[in-house]
């Protein structure tokens, strides 16, 4: 499992290519192979052209995609995204929601997407876990959460008028 954090956790002094290849370097992968793998990961997120830039030279959306590439280069079966869109403006958030969903489908890996945004949760997910004070209230498809909320909290979360 790899993680993408809200602040992206990129190294400001390193090139984008070296940021993406960093985990492979720690694992002892030789430089030529790790750079090839990092380049491939950058291509998956449509950023192959920024490999020699520094993080400060990129937009927020580009930095977010670099962080995703850095996580994907390790070929995880599960990717945990912890509020990755929280620092982006609304238009970019909506664009990145679509890009993340397409990426997840094309890679065929599990994304666990942590968010406090109801719209993100419902639009991006096949299954949603609704938490209340650290306890799971309901796990279901977005449609079932809306049509059949099991608790008043879930009904309030999805904005349904279902009665209990």
pLDDT tens digit sequence for 136-161:
999 999 999 999 999 999 999 888 65
Q: What is the pLDDT of residues 75-114, one digit of tens each?
A: 999 999 988 888 778 888 888 888 889 989 999 999 999 9
Over residues 39-50, the mean pLDDT reads 94
- Please state, in angstroms and rounded to a whole number, the distance separating the CA atoms of residues 85 and 96: 8
What pLDDT sits at residue 164? 53
What pLDDT sits at residue 7? 65
Domain that holds residue 41: 2-125
Domains contained in the chain, number: 1
What pLDDT sits at residue 158? 86
Strand ranges for 16-158 from DSSP E: 78-82, 110-114, 128-132, 135-140
| Within-domain flag for 13 | yes
CA distances from 133 to 84, 150, 153 (A): 21, 16, 11
Give the global pTM: 0.80
CATH code (residue 27): 3.40.50.300
């Amino acid at each position: 499992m790899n993680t993408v954090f809200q602040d992206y956790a990129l190294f400001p002094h390193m090139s984008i290519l070296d940021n993406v290849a960093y985990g492979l370097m720690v694992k002892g992968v030789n430089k030529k192979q790790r750079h090839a793998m990092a380049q491939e990961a950058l291509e998956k997120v449509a950023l192959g052209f920024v490999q020699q830039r520094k993080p400060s030279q990129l937009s927020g959306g580009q930095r977010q995609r670099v962080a995703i590439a850095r996580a994907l280069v390790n070929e995880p079966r599960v990717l945990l995204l912890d509020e990755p869109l929280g620092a982006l403006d609304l238009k970019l958030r909506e664009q990145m929601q679509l890009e993340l969903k397409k990426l997840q489908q094309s890679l065929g890996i599990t994304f666990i997407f942590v968010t406090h945004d109801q719209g993100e949760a419902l639009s991006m997910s096949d299954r949603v876990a609704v938490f209340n004070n650290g306890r799971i209230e309901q796990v279901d498809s977005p449609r079932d959460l809306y049509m059949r909320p099991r608790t008043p909290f879930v009904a309030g979360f999805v904005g349904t008028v279902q009665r209990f």
